[in-house]
Structure 1
Amino acid sequence: MTGAGKPLAAVAALMGAAGVVLAALSAHEPDAARLGSASNMLLFHAVVIIGSVLLVNSGFAQRHIGLIAALAFVAGAGLFAGDLVLRQFAGQGVFPMAAPTGGTLMILGWLALAIATAWPTKAG
């Protein structure tokens, strides 16, 4: 991995770790459904970030659009999960509509990844 790939993979690994922690908390904390949703978003998108980086580095996905997709996954999942975690423990979110904004970023990330993989690359 080169360029932005290594930092993105490292962030994805941290997201995965946070997702496991939140899954454990959701199993043990009362009324913790929000934590389960936050965990799922972090875990699912940690894997897709690593996959996006691998697709870009293998030449299967257009580089710039693929990295934009990965960044949208990081921002979206972080915002979505962060908002739910703050609501659980602090009683208020990051800002109004933060979770839906994060969800929208993740949707845009998936669309960007679709474009990145359909876009012609030098590798073919």
Structure 2
Amino acid sequence: MNKALGVLNACAGLFGACGVAAAAAAAHLPGGEHLNAVALILLAHAAALLALTPRARPGEPVARLWLASAVALAVGAALFSSDVALLTLRGARLFPMAAPTGGTILILGWLVAFLAGMTGLSRRYR
């Protein structure tokens, strides 16, 4: 599990850097307005990954749920942002339905985070 957490933290750094680059490109490239969505998704989820990974450490209550949430957020953000960026910059898609698939995975990842939080609450107040 520690390798997975390291990969997720590395993804957070990459997402943050790419999010800033996407924001800059959106501000300077003609027709790059859609890159604002890419920047928002990447920057928000970079911070989310950094917040979720400490909860996914072995020995923590519901660690596997927190890990599943973080993995889903990383995969979903990568799919969504890659597809929108490619479409904006190159006029091509990552693969058909990549952005909607990534968005759906993001929603599921946040719902797993909700479930992990509620499970943690119910364990604390027993």
TM-score (normalizing by structure 1): 0.89
How many aligned residue pairs are there? 122
User: Partner of 1:85 in structure 2?
Assistant: 85
User: Partner of 1:111 in structure 2?
Assistant: 111
Unaligned runs of 5+ in 1: none
RMSD of aligned alpha carbons: 2.0
Q: Which amino acid aligns with 1:92?
A: A
- What's the CA shift for 1:40? 0.5
Q: Distance in 1 between matches of 2:68 and 2:47?
A: 16
Unaligned runs of 5+ in 2: none
DSSP 3-state at the match of 2:34: helix
Please identify, of 18-27 and 89-98, the stretch whose mean Cα deviation from structure 2 is larger: 89-98
Q: Distance in 2 between matches of 1:75 and 1:103?
A: 10
DSSP 3-state at the match of 1:92: coil
Matches within 5 A, 1:1-124: 2-57=2-57, 59=60, 62-120=62-120, 124=124
Mapped contact 2:8–2:53 kept (Cα < 8 A) = yes
TM-score (normalizing by structure 2): 0.87
Query: Relative contact order, CA 8 A, sep 6+: which one is greater?
Result: 1
- What's the CA shift for 1:2? 3.7
Report sequence identity in percent.
38
